[in-house]
Amino acid sequence: MAGLGKQIVESKFFDLDDIIASSESTSCTFEIGELNPDFFQEMVGIVKPTQNAEGYGVDTPLWLLNPDIIKTPVTVRFYESSFKNVISSQIHLPQAYSVNMQGVLNADARNVNLSRMQQQFYTNGMQLCYLTKKQNPDGALNLARCLLSTVTQRLGGIISSSANQRTKGDRFDGLEIKVFLEGKRCKDDIDRWLRQDNKSMSKKRKRNS
């Protein structure tokens, strides 16, 4: 269309799973500073957030905590002063990613029900690593290692389930379901090819007999 130019977006801009995962909320404390409380009603839908000595406590969607979003001029209208102000916040990890739960997963993650804990466990975990790496780099690194340990422990079971034509497990998170379905599709493709090859071999035997 005339007057419209190309716009560069992130690779996951149209990824529905990523959009859904980014909509998940986590407990967060915003420093009061010069932040206008109307920010919460406009962006989070909460008329009156909880206020304590540390600031405003509110469950906030992960996309809103992205530093690339909260530091842009788009959010300026929620402030009482100038463009130089940014939102300062402290993110609290959800129970599914707490230090205690990380210990459980690192010890044995094979039988843990990730779907019940967090339906987008890995995607949300990676987002939290990114969002917390500046305020708590060691904590973010430990969480990243826990995510890697968890998927490493569980991957063999997922592949085994898909190869043995078992039904989709109810313990899988969104990413694991994708792996399961892809493994099952590959197994079906191999089985189909083998059946066709066997039919071809049978026809050749009949011609040669």
Q: Which residue has the higher pLDDT, 169 or 121?
A: 121
Least confident of 23-37, 110-124, 153-167, 177-191: 23-37
> Which pLDDT belongs to residue 75?
32
Beta-strand pair 56-61/25-30: antiparallel
Beta bridge partners of 91: 28
CATH topology of domain 95-209: Methane Monooxygenase Hydroxylase; Chain G, domain 1 (1.20.58)
**Mean pLDDT value of segment 24-48:** 70
> Which pLDDT belongs to residue 141?
96
Report CA-CA distances (Å) from 164 to 111, 135, 141, 182, 198: 18, 45, 35, 13, 21
**Mean pLDDT value of segment 150-168:** 87
In the predicted model, is pLDDT for residue 78 greater than 60? Answer: no
Residue given tokens 């049978």 in the structure block: 202
pTM of the predicted model as reported, rounded to 2 decimal places: 0.70
Residue 100 in 3-state DSSP? helix
| Report for 6-15, 139-148, 164-173: range of highest mean pLDDT | 139-148
Q: 150: which residues sit within 8 A by CB, 6+ positions away? A: 105, 106, 109, 112, 114, 121, 122
Beta bridge partners of 51: 56
Quote the mean pLDDT of the chain. 77
In the predicted model, is pLDDT for residue 82 greater than 70? Answer: no
**3-state SS record for 22-35:** HCCEEEEEECCCCE
Within a 13 Å sphere around the CA of 135, how many CA atoms are in the beta-carbon half? 15
> Which pLDDT belongs to residue 153?
96
> Which residues of the chain does CATH 1.20.58.2050 include?
95-209
